[in-house]
Amino acid sequence: MSGRQRKVVCITELRQACRTCSLQELCLPMGLAAEDIQRLESIVGHKGPLERGRHLFREGDPFQSIYAVRDGALKTYSIDADGREHVLGFHLPGELLGLDAIYPRVNRCSAVALSNASVCVLPYDRLSDLAHEVSGLQSQIFRLLSKDLSISANLATDHTAEERLAGFLISIAARSGAGTELKLVMPRRDIASYLRLATETVSRLLARFQQEGYVEVHRKNLQLLNVEGLRRLGGSFELTGLASAIRRPLRG
């Protein structure tokens, strides 16, 4: 385990760090009492930088903390009995990881950095205790779990390759919040695994989307030229519907 764990000491620094955090509704706009911010702060650790390719946790590790991405990106995945890797999700700044391990108290998947990343560490027992006392925190955790549940349920439904990829692009764009210019940090293979497609299919579809004027692709750099059209292609395959309610909606 590289990257030591240390306390975040300065509230203003935390505020900055949490600007895009999934707990932001609690921390900032909802005007939590300074006292409560301090209490949350007191249990939040910080880990990083975590180099690209380094694991944050591995399948089978005993569950102790959940994590919030501060910077960079991670993916979660599991390896099945036949050795096939299944990408379960991508985690961008402000998003949480490890929620699915609460129940079994053992990590059900591994998390690895897709680029150099740093994360907030939220020790579950302490977070759970604190949620008991700070009313808004409990509800916020309920809501975050519920949201992930919806996203995951939607991902499980039946859609064509075209719908999946279009929906995915919209989702990444909305979540990375950088407008229509975005960087695909993850390799094609991971996108394909996440969407249950072959890498060749992803590649071909991107080529087609480009040819039809929806996007411009240069390797990992991608420019959305017709967001509305992509949204139409995506149809009901909405990976973002919920997340975007918290975050800045994508104009276009």
In angstroms, the CA 177 to CA 17 distance is 16
Return the number of the residue (128 or 201) whose C-beta is nearest DNA: 201
Return the number of the residue (152 or 221) whose C-beta is nearest its own copies: 152
89 part of the interface to its own copies, by CB under 8 A: yes
| Measured torsion, CA atoms of residues 205, 209, 211, 213, in degrees rounded to the nearest 10 | 180
Q: How far is the CB of 241 from its own copies (least distance, A)?
A: 9
In angstroms, the CA 30 to CA 23 distance is 10
Q: Which of 130, 155, 215, 224 binds its own copies (CB under 8 A)?
A: 155
The DSSP 8-state label assigned to residue 72 in this structure reads: S
Residue 237 has φ and ψ, to the nearest 5°, of: -85, 85
> Within 50-160, where are the H helices?
124-133, 135-155
Return the number of the residue (2 or 236) whose C-beta is nearest its own copies: 236
In angstroms, the CA 66 to CA 243 distance is 19
> Helix 161-176 crosses helix 188-195 at what angle (to 10 degrees)?
120
Q: Which of 193, 206, 209, 227 binds its own copies (CB under 8 A)?
A: 193
Q: How far is the CB of 128 from its own copies (least distance, A)?
A: 6
39 part of the interface to DNA, by CB under 7 A: no
Return the number of the residue (5 or 236) whose C-beta is nearest its own copies: 236
> Within 91-134, where are the H helices?
124-133
Instruction: Name the token pair of 170.
Output: 């919209």
Q: How far is the CB of 247 from its own copies (least distance, A)?
A: 13
Q: Measure the N-to-C terminal CA separation of the chain; round to a whole number of Å.
A: 43
Q: How far is the CB of 116 from its own copies (least distance, A)?
A: 26
36 part of the interface to DNA, by CB under 7 A: no
Q: Which of 23, 202, 227, 239 binds DNA (CB under 7 A)?
A: 202
In the range 95-124, which residues lie near its own copies by CB under 8 A?
Answer: 99-104, 108
List of residues contacting DNA (CB under 7 A): 160-162, 187-189, 196-204, 206-207, 217, 219-220
